[in-house]
Chain A
Amino acid sequence: MNQMTHRNRLSRIALPLALSLALVACGGPRPKTGDLAELETLRAREYSAEIRKPFADEPEPNLKRLRQSANELVKLSDAYYELSLESFDERDPANTDARAKIALMYYRAAENYARSADARLRLNQANQRYQEQLSRRNDYQKRLQSEQELVTLLETIQTLFKRNEELRRSLDSFEERAKSESRSIYALQEARIKKTEAEGLKAPDFAGAKFGEAQNLLAKAETFYNDEKFDDAYQMALQAQEAFKSASDVSRAQWTEEQDKLLRNTESQAIYERAQKEFGVRNAFIDARGIVVVTSGIFDGRSSGLSPSGRTLLDKVIEIAKQFKNHSIVIEGHTDDRGNDSSNQSLSQARASSVQDYFLQRAISTGRLGIQAFGESKPRYQGQQAADREKNNRVEIIFRGK
């Protein structure tokens, strides 16, 4: 850069010097050299007008100040230039050079201020552009901030919606699971109840295979439940319910029969004990026919009419019959060996019928009652004494399990 400046200066000085020498040689006007020549070159440049540009109407104070400085300095330069020319004309080289040097410096200073004014203008324009860009940037920044706030808000809303949806799904899932679990618990409970029922019906004894299968199904259902596979548990529990029900159905008939039997046995024992208590061991006993109660002396003589004491005795039998309803009653009529067989057979028949009628009068149902007549054919007492013979005039009442 310095080299360039140096070259420029040399060219500016060398050219006028060469021209001056040429003019001297030719006998022309005396050439100007040094600072004066350089000054004249500068003054002749187009930029000189810029330096002298009027400033009074300049509205921008900084620009005005710079242009004013340029104006003042160029006027000083002009003044020294005039003085320098005068000295030149007076052939006073020392003053010519001194004044030209001062004029040149003032001119350069003026030019600097003119250039500064240009720079100031550039600065002002840059400032203006800066303000425009600053305003633009701030505007974008403000709008961006607003947009970002909106985006944040919308993202928050979206996140909340998503969370809400997740919670809803989770709740649905929980409800579904709770339903499924409740259903399986209920089904398992039902299956256990059915199992208890089946056990009550002795299904393990009467339908062992079916009961075992049902137990396996219930165990699987419980395993599914413990593994929280509630739907599987529910299905398996339903199958177990069916299996226990089936086992119960199979067992029920046998169980009923067994229970009836048991009941009958229990009643028979009770009847027997009660009869022995009421009628004594001689008149109450068990034989192949059932529980037998022997009632002697209940008729008036050799008739079929019941005596009052006979009725009292029969009332005790009727009381037993009413208490234990699961037994049928057979009334057997008997006579002693007096008279012929035919009349005794008829009498025994009449006696059995008489007792039956009495039972019917005392609300013993017809379905439970039956009669048989044996005449004198089945004497209970074998002696020939009148008392023994009288005891054979009897009715034997037999309780039989149904």
Chain B
Amino acid sequence: MKNHIASLALIALMLSASMAHALSPEEVASRMEAASGLLAELETHELRDDASQDISTARLAITDIQTSLASEMYGKAETTLLTLEATLKLVKSLLDRGEIDQLADKREADNVTIQTQADELQLELETTSSRRTDLQSQVSAIVDSLDKDTPAPNSGK
């Protein structure tokens, strides 16, 4: 519940800032740096190719922000930053989803494999059990025949 409230507060802060263009140039620069770090991290992700277009857009947005800041077009810089942040969220969500999808796909494939293995083992177990039963019968028959052939102690007296 506390997390929920905190997230709502953050949203409110972000929205108020975006609506009033209240971010200072330093804040814009600072958040851009943070976004840039996150982007660099996302660019190394295994599934980065799945979000290549958005990553390229984000990279261009950073350049755009830097240009805007340099030109003192702070309103544009802020708007671009907010868009960039949303883009990065989108990229991250895409990569996270891809990762989980991949895990689920892999595990489902593993399931097929292990189920096949289990089925094969079950079959082999049935065959081996049958073979064991046969052998038991054969050995019992031999033992019985030996018992018949071997005179009991003190017999024949």
Contacts and interface: CB of A to CB of B under 8 A. Distances in A.
A161 B139 CA distance: 8
Given A72-B11, A80-B15, A134-B114, A148 B128 contact: yes
A254 interface: no
B87 interface: yes
B132 interface: yes
A115 B99 CA distance: 12
Interface residues of B, number: 49
Interface stretch (A151-159, A192-200, A215-223, A333-341): A151-159
A136 interface: yes
B136 interface: yes
Interface string A110-124: 101101100110110
A115 B97 contact: yes
A154 B107 contact: no
A105 B100 contact: no
A115 B95 CA distance: 12
B111 A126 contact: yes
A99 B129 CA distance: 70
- Where chain A touches its partner, the secondary structure class is helix
Interface stretch (B28-36, B63-71, B78-86): B78-86
A158 B104 contact: no
A317 B75 CA distance: 182
B82 A76 contact: no
B49 interface: no
Given A98-B83, A101-B83, A112 B94 contact: yes
A75 B89 contact: no
A35 B142 CA distance: 86
A58 to B, nearest CB: 13
Nearest to B146: A161
Given A102-B82, A112-B96, A116-B93, A158 B114 contact: no
Contacts of B86: 76, 80, 101-102, 105-106, 109
B138 interface: yes
A137 B117 contact: yes
Interface stretch (A138-146, A354-362, A381-389, A394-402): A138-146
Contact of A113 (B1, B7, B96, B122): B96
Contacts of B89: 73, 105-106, 109
Nearest to A117: B100
Nearest to A124: B104
Interface residues of A, number: 50
A75 B15 CA distance: 11
Interface in A34-86: 56, 66, 68-69, 71-73, 75-76, 79-80, 83
B48 to A, nearest CB: 15
Contact of B138 (A80, A141, A143, A158): A158
Nearest to B130: A147
Contacts of B132: 147, 150-151, 154
A108 interface: yes
Nearest to A94: B79
A133 interface: yes
Contacts of B1: 56
Interface of B: 1, 3-4, 7-8, 11-12, 14-15, 18-19, 79, 82-83, 86-87, 89-90, 92-94, 96-97, 100-101, 103-104, 107-108, 110-111, 114-115, 117-118, 121-122, 124-125, 128-129, 131-132, 135-136, 138-139, 142, 146
Given A73-B93, A109-B86, 11 more contacts: A66-B96, A75-B7, A112-B93, A112-B96, A119-B103, A120-B104, A123-B100, A137-B121, A157-B139, A158-B139, A158-B142
23 contacts: A75-B8, A80-B18, A98-B79, A102-B18, A102-B83, A102-B86, A106-B90, A108-B90, A112-B93, A112-B94, A116-B97, A119-B100, A119-B103, A122-B108, A123-B104, A123-B107, A130-B110, A133-B114, A137-B118, A141-B121, A151-B128, A154-B139, A158-B138
